[in-house]
């Protein structure tokens, strides 16, 4: 468990130093996996129709509902590894 958390924190740090910016779909996936890893299932109110970015982020995170925090961490680590 401690190893997974350390690897996750390392991946988060590495995400800031990627050679090129990922596409928007990948960025949403990273955001959703990060939120699921750190906060668990989405319990926030869905943003209004006018907030397109907030709504896209909410939908991406909400799509991971039921995924364990450990699984989300591992998926985040794997995704950052594939982008590096």
Report the domain count for the chain.
Answer: 1
Q: pLDDT tens digits, residue range 17-57?
A: 999 999 999 999 999 999 999 999 999 999 999 999 999 99
Which domain does 24 fall in, by range?
2-83
- pTM comes to 0.93
Q: In angstroms, what CA-CA distances link 60 with 2, 53, 56, 83? A: 27, 11, 6, 19
Domain containing 19 — which CATH number?
1.20.80.10
């Amino acid at each position: 468990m401690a190893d997974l958390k350390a690897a996750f924190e390392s991946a988060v740090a590495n995400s800031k130093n990627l050679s090129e910016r990922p596409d928007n779909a990948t960025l949403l996936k990273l955001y959703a996996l990060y939120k699921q890893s750190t906060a668990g299932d989405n319990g926030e109110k869905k943003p209004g129709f006018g907030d397109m970015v907030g709504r896209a982020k909410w939908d991406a995170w909400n799509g991971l509902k039921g995924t364990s925090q450990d699984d989300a961490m591992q998926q985040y680590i794997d995704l950052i590894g594939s982008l590096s």
